[in-house]
Structure 1
Amino acid sequence: MARGKPVRWHIAVFLAPALLVYTAIMIIPLFGTLNLSLYNESADSRVFVGLANFATLFGDRRWSDAFWNALGNNFWFFVIHMLVQNPIGILLAALLSSPKLRMAAFYRTAIFIPTILSFVIVGFVWKLIFSPIWGIAPGMLDMVGLKSLFAPWLGKAEYALTTLALVSVWQFVGIPMMLIYAALLSIPDDVIEAAEMDGVTGWSQFWKIKLPLILPSIGIISILTFVGNFNAFDLIYVAQGALAGPDFSTDILGTFLYRTFFGFQLQLGDPYMGSAIATAMFGIILLGVCVYLFGIQTRLRRYQF
């Protein structure tokens, strides 16, 4: 009598703890938020209102102006990371992967260290650095003859969000650097040797050989950047507070959600509208991930080994 395939029960045993924790802290709260967004409060009781909260969020000027402002700021925050952080990360990875570079391990460590720092520390320290009263930024610019360029960047609406985005780039550039560095090291030596035999070396080798081969890794970094930026909150809150000043110029979806859900100063908390904002954030992130998975990743698979 033929025996059936053995049941690999150990897989379920090993996955169960992580699955239970993930369900408890992610899945259940997610569905709870989606459910709460469909209700509102009337006469001290919870009433099902369907999509009315979303109609208010997108149609009522009191809510829609703040929502679209926060969404636009979030997109700009993401664009700066895509155009500054990721290219710098790729460039640093290419430099640090060179076998001719001495002390490469020290440089990798120094660049990666800010990513493990607390948002509170980073936000507070950079706020002190940029202070026009006791900050060191004016003095450092003066040392190189550029003091005329200094301005209270965190105090001006046209500069504040870009300044904080660049601070975030400084903190997290180590992540794309390390991911691209790992991707460069995974390229088979045979490919590199063949390129060198054909006379393709140095930066020409990087652009023509290595860069096309690490495109899948760059795609993953891009979607991680998208998800991380549209979940951003901590740095803006620490540096500019829940009101995301000046004049809401640094307000992003995370701070808008915080003020709405929990309330702040004279604004009372509204968990139902807050849940609607959280659901809208989830939808935006889900849409971006789906565009990447079905529209971009399938085209990058041909570059994988």
Structure 2
Amino acid sequence: MSRLRDSVPPDEVGTTTVATGADAVATPPAAPPRRRRFRTHLLVFIAPAAAIYTVFMVYPLLDSLRLSMFAPSDGGQVFVGFDNFVHLLTDDLLASAFWNAVWNNLVFFAVHFFVQNPIGLLLAALLAGPALKGRATYQALLFIPTTLSVVIVGFIWQLIISPIWGFVDTPLLGQSSTALVTLALMSVWQYIGIPMILFYAVLISIPDELTEAARVDGAGGWSTFWRVKFPLLLPTVGVVSVVTYVANMNAFDLIYTVKGALAGPDFASDIMGTFFFRTFFGFQLQEGSSTMGATVATMMFLLILAGVLLYFYGWQRRVESYQL
């Protein structure tokens, strides 16, 4: 090898010599990788969406965080740091109302998580069945409630479960023990089409070869679903779960439509959204405060952020995704 290297002419220094037996082939050195230039024309498409998102989402969020650290004083505002948060969590009236709203929000989310998402998965599995006829009709019927106005949904369900006009003898919305769960089930009925469509989109993208191979190995329909299809659904299960969490921690419209800002009876259906509304704008004898309302909004943001971070670091990094 050393003799072969000494025999290379000076003008070919820097080339790579590959020898096989008595033969040698000189190849030029590999060119350094070219640095990809940033496509500046993409900014033309990104800038409008980024500007709208910044104006209507980022700026209000940052301004709420700033406002939560101020308090009214002599017609103006004075910086108080985290005093508003301490007052929110230690004051007898505010703290009890705040923790009641947080607990109700978690219950509201739990009903959606354990009722809406499993039923949505079941409906998606049924719709993805190869022997089902009229699939498009069923999809439309199940998804139509999602497109309805919350006011219409609340009004219809109040008539359906009314002891006077409806089919239920018990005032479900008038009892503290059943009001919140009843409202959550009304919301489940309206939005069950969203997880159904997400799960359905993944199920129909699973290659038929996988299910056919499972059937050849003797697996039944139930075993094929849990051992072949469900592992492929796990990333979507995580996405649906975190979307459900964010949506329900931001819930407001249905409860406000049906029960008003007081979220009765006796604040049994009060959630973070209605508690924020009363704190910021005031209601009846309660005086509103923009700074304390911003503090409640900041706590809502922190609770939502905690759930999203738990999803990213506790779920997404542990679930393996497959290319279908």
Residue in 2 aligned with 1:11? Answer: 42
Paired residues, number: 292
1:176 paired residue among 189, 195, 209: 195
Aligned residue identity for 1:48: F
2:228 alignment counterpart: 209
The residue number in structure 2 matching 1:131 is 162
Identity, in percent, stands at 54
Residue of structure 1 aligned with 2:273, choices 244, 247, 254:
254
CA distance in 2, matches of 1:5, 1:223: 35
Equivalent residue, structure 1, for 2:174: 155
- The whole-number CA distance in structure 2 between the counterparts of 1:6 and 1:208 is 45
Aligned to 2:83: 52
Partner letter of residue 70 of structure 1? A
1:1-305 superposed matches below 5 A: 5-133=36-164, 135-138=165-168, 150-302=169-321
For structure 1, list consecutive stretches of 5 or more residues without a partner in the other structure: 139-149
> How many Å apart are 1:204 and its aligned residue?
2.0
Amino acid at match of 1:301: E
Could you tell me how far 1:190 is from its partner in structure 2? 2.3
Q: Give me the whole-angstrom Cα distance separating, in 2, the residues matched to 1:128 and 1:4.
A: 66
> Match of 1:253, as an amino acid?
M
Greater relative contact order (Cα < 8 A, sep 6+): 1
2:152 aligns to what SS in structure 1? Answer: helix
Distance 2:49 2:89 in 1: 37
The 1-side partners of 2:256 and 2:276 are apart by 12
Q: 1: distance between equivalents of 2:130 and 2:136?
A: 11
**Counterpart contact for 1:216–1:304, Cα < 8 Å:** no
SS at match of 1:137: coil
Give the Cα–Cα distance (whole angstroms) in 2 for the partners of residues 38 and 243 of structure 1: 26
**Deviation of residue 194 (structure 1)?**
1.5
Deviation at 1:301, TM superposition (A): 2.2
2-structure distance, mates of 1:189, 1:217: 19
Cα distance in 2 for residues equivalent to 1:5 and 1:239: 56
* SS of equivalent residue, structure 1 residue 74: helix
The aligned residue for residue 143 of structure 1 is none
* Runs of 4+ residues over 6 Å off in structure 1: none
CA positional deviation for 1:6: 4.1
Other-structure match for 2:21:
none
Letter in 1 for 2:281: F
**CA-based RMSD:** 1.4
Deviations 1:274-297 (A, max 9, x none): 000000000000010001101111
2:9 maps to none
* TM-score, with structure 2 as normaliser: 0.87
**Residue identity in the other structure for 1:160:** A
- Please report how far the alpha carbon of residue 199 of structure 1 lies from its aligned counterpart in structure 2 after TM superposition: 2.0
The Cα shift of 1:232 comes to 0.2
> Is the CA contact (8 Å cut-off) linking 2:235 and 2:321 kept in structure 1?
no
Distance 2:323 2:195 in 1: 18
Indicate if the aligned counterparts of 2:280 and 2:290 stay in contact, CA closer than 8 A: yes
CA distance in 1, matches of 2:143, 2:270: 28
Structure with greater helix share of residues: 1
- SS at 2:319 equivalent: helix
Partner of 1:161: helix, strand, or coil? helix
